Amino acid sequence: MLPPSMYAHIMNGLLVFAAAVVAYINFSVLRRLDPYKLVMIFLVFSIAIGIHGLSHMGLEAVYGFNPLK
């Protein structure tokens, strides 16, 4: 059984990946958006990826989890 933070990290990774897939599928719609909406979308992705990165750092520090090893 994994610690709860690991489940949250996995769920966050899956949701970020799903959002990237949806953005890729709807790329033609995204290209037609006005610049303000594009900036907002990029900022949301940036926040999501940043939080996922912080989760990696926490898991590495507390549990010794490093997926690259």
d(CA 44, CA 32): 18
H-type alpha helices, the chain: 4-25, 27-31, 35-63
The single residue listed with the structure tokens 């992705």 is 45
Q: What is the pLDDT along the chain (69 residues), one digit of tens a residue?
A: 778 888 888 999 999 999 999 999 999 999 999 999 999 999 999 999 999 989 888 888 888 877 777
The single residue listed with the structure tokens 């790329």 is 27
pTM (two decimals): 0.78
Q: How high is the pLDDT of residue 8?
A: 87
